[in-house]
A and B are shown apart, each in its own frame.
Chain A
C-alpha cells in the first residue's frame, strides 16, 4: 500500500506539465473577474438604494451631498471601488461572452441554461447601457472630453449636476432631448433606463449564484438551490428598489427649471465642487482651477429655489 502511494507520487513529479502558464493566468483572471463583479454589484446595490430616495427630491439631494462632500477623495473612491472593478469585469466578461461558446438555450431550454444565456445577454445590454449612462451623466464621460477640448457640442455635459441633483437627473433621464416627454428619443431614454436597471439586477443576482459555485462555496445540488433562493430574494428586493429609483426620475419625475451652467459666473466647473483627485489635478492644470469650487452644500443653498423645490 505505502509503496503504491510512493510510486504514484514519483509519477506525479515527473509527469509532463499540461498546465500552461497561459492557463494559470486565465484561472486568476476568471477569479478576479468574479471578485470585480461582486465588488461592482455591491456598488450597484448602493447606487440603486440611493437613487430610490429620488421619490423625495430633498432626501435625494441630501444623499448626493453626502457623496460629494467626499471632495477630492470621491475620485479615488470611484476609481478604486467602481471603475477599476468594472473595467476588469467588462474586459474579461466580453472575452467570456465571445470565447467560442455556442449558446443553445433553444434546444436545451433548462432554467440553468436560460440563466446562463441571460447572464451574457444582460452583460451585453449593460455594456451599451453603461456606456451611454456614463458618457452622458458622469463628469468622466463626454464632460471630460469637453474639459480637455472645450468642444462646444459637448458643453451640456455632464447632465448630472450634483447641486441640482433631482432636477438634473429627471432632465437627464426623462427629458434629455427636449421638453416633450413623449418625444421618441426621450421615450427611448426612459425605456433604456428601465432595461438597464433590470438587466443589472438580474446579472447581479445571478452572478451571486454562479460566483458561489465558481469559488466552491456551494457544492451540493441542495446547497446550490438554497443559495439560489437567497439570490432570487436579493434579486426581487433590488428589482423593486431599482424600479422605484427608475420611476422617481421618469413616470413620477417632475421636470424643474435648471439654472444655466454659467449662473454664478464662475464657469461651468464651479458647481461641480472639488471632485478631481490631486494627481489628476496636477497632471491637468486646467482642472485644478475647477477643482476648488464652492462646496456642494453651499451650492445648493445658493441655488435656492433654482434647484428642485420639493
Chain B
C-alpha cells in the first residue's frame, strides 16, 4: 500500500517477463508511484526496490539493463507501448499523453534472443560489425605515422554516422529483420558507409561490398524506412542505404567487367 502522501499519482506497468532464455514469457503487472520527471528506467528501479505485483505477490525484481542513463549507450533499449525506445529517455509523462489512461507495457526487444526478462543478447550486431570489417587498422608492430586528414565536409557527413551506439532500435523496427534470417540491417549499412568513407577504411571497401552484396545484405532491404524514424541518434540511415545501393550498382559493374 502506498501512503496517502505518495499516492497522488501512480501508474500501472505491464511487464513481459521470461526466466531463462528457453522458457515461456509471462506478463506481470505492477503499480508504481510516479513523479513528473519519471522515466521508464526509474520505474524499473522503483520496482526493484519493492518487487510486489499489483495483486500483492512478492516476486523476483525484473532484470533490465541500463548504463549511461542519458541515451548514449543503448543498453536500456526495449519495447515500450509497442514501440522500441530507450527506457532511460522515455518519459512517463509522454507515454501518458500518448495513450491516456492505459497501462504502460514493457517488453524485451523481439528481434534478439532474450537472456532474462528485459535483457536481450545483441551479439548478432557485433558479429555483423566484424563481418563488414567495421574498423580501421591502427599501429601494429611499428608506428604507421599520422593518419590522413579528413576535410570538414567529410567530417560533416561522417560524424552523424559515427554516433551509432548499437542499440538495435533500427533492427527491432525493421520488418525485414527477423530472428531467423540473417539480414544485416540498417546499422550495418550505415557503418559500412562510414568506414568506406574513412581514408583508412577505404582499402577494405571492396571486401565490405562483397559482404553487403551477399547473403542478408543490401538485397534484403525492403525500403520501409522505419529505421530512420526510430533511430535515437538521428542517423540518416536511409541515405546510407541509398549510398550502399549505389555502391553496389557501381561495384557490380566494376566486378563484371574488370575482376
Task: Tally the A-B contacts, defined by beta carbons under 8 Å.
Answer: 152
Say whether A100 contacts B180, CB under 8 Å: yes
User: By the criterion of a CB under 8 Å from any partner CB, how many residues of chain A are at the interface?
Assistant: 52
A26 to B183, CA, bound (A): 13
A29 to B190, CA, bound (A): 23
Say whether A116 contacts B224, CB under 8 Å: yes
CB-CB contacts below 8 Å: B114-131 with A? 131
Of the candidates B83, B202, B203, B243, the one having the most CB atoms from chain A within 10 angstroms of its own CB is B203
Which residue of the partner chain A has the closest CB to B145?
A1
Say whether B248 contacts A3, CB under 8 Å: no
Q: A1-B148, A12-B207, A23-B219 are in contact. Are A113 and B224 (CB under 8 A)?
A: yes
Distance (Å) between the CB of A189 and the closest chain B CB?
Answer: 32
Report B230-259 CB contacts with A as 1/0, cut-off 8 Å. Answer: 100000101101111111111010000000
A214 to B249, CA, bound (A): 9
B200 near A: Cβ within 8 Å? Answer: yes
In-complex Cβ contact of A110 among B202, B221, B225 (8 A) = B225
Q: A1-B145, A224-B242 are in contact. Are A108 and B226 (CB under 8 A)?
A: yes
Q: A9-B203, A214-B245 are in contact. Are A102 and B223 (CB under 8 A)?
A: no
Contacts of A26 in B (CB 8 A): 215, 219
Say whether A7 contacts B133, CB under 8 Å: no
Say whether A8 contacts B137, CB under 8 Å: yes
Say whether A27 contacts B131, CB under 8 Å: no
Contacts of A31 in B (CB 8 A): 252
Say whether B206 contacts A12, CB under 8 Å: yes
CB-CB contacts below 8 Å: A86-141 with B? 96, 99-104, 106-108, 110, 112-113, 115-117, 119
Contacts of B228 in A (CB 8 A): 221
Say whether B214 contacts A27, CB under 8 Å: yes
Distance (Å) between the CB of A105 and the closest chain B CB?
Answer: 8
Of the candidates A107, A115, A214, A220, the one having the most CB atoms from chain B within 10 angstroms of its own CB is A214
A102 to B176, CA, bound (A): 6
Say whether A8 contacts B239, CB under 8 Å: no
Say whether B222 contacts A116, CB under 8 Å: yes
Say whether B238 contacts A27, CB under 8 Å: no
Distance (Å) between the CB of A112 and the closest chain B CB?
Answer: 3
A219 near B: Cβ within 8 Å? Answer: yes
Which residue of the partner chain A has the closest CB to B131?
A18
Report B195-212 CB contacts with A as 1/0, cut-off 8 Å. Answer: 000001011101100110
Say whether A112 contacts B223, CB under 8 Å: yes
Contacts of A7 in B (CB 8 A): 137, 140, 144
B175 near A: Cβ within 8 Å? Answer: yes
Say whether B178 contacts A101, CB under 8 Å: yes
A149 near B: Cβ within 8 Å? Answer: no
A115 to B175, CA, bound (A): 12
Distance (Å) between the CB of B229 and the closest chain A CB?
Answer: 5
A218 to B242, CA, bound (A): 6
Chain B residues packing against A (C-beta within 8 Å): 82-83, 131, 133, 137, 140, 144-148, 173, 175-176, 178, 180-181, 200, 202-204, 206-207, 210-211, 213-226, 228-230, 236, 238-239, 241-250, 252
Q: A103-B175, A219-B246 are in contact. List 13 more A-B contacts (CB 8 A).
A: A4-B145, A8-B203, A12-B133, A12-B204, A12-B206, A27-B248, A106-B82, A112-B229, A210-B223, A214-B223, A215-B245, A216-B248, A216-B250
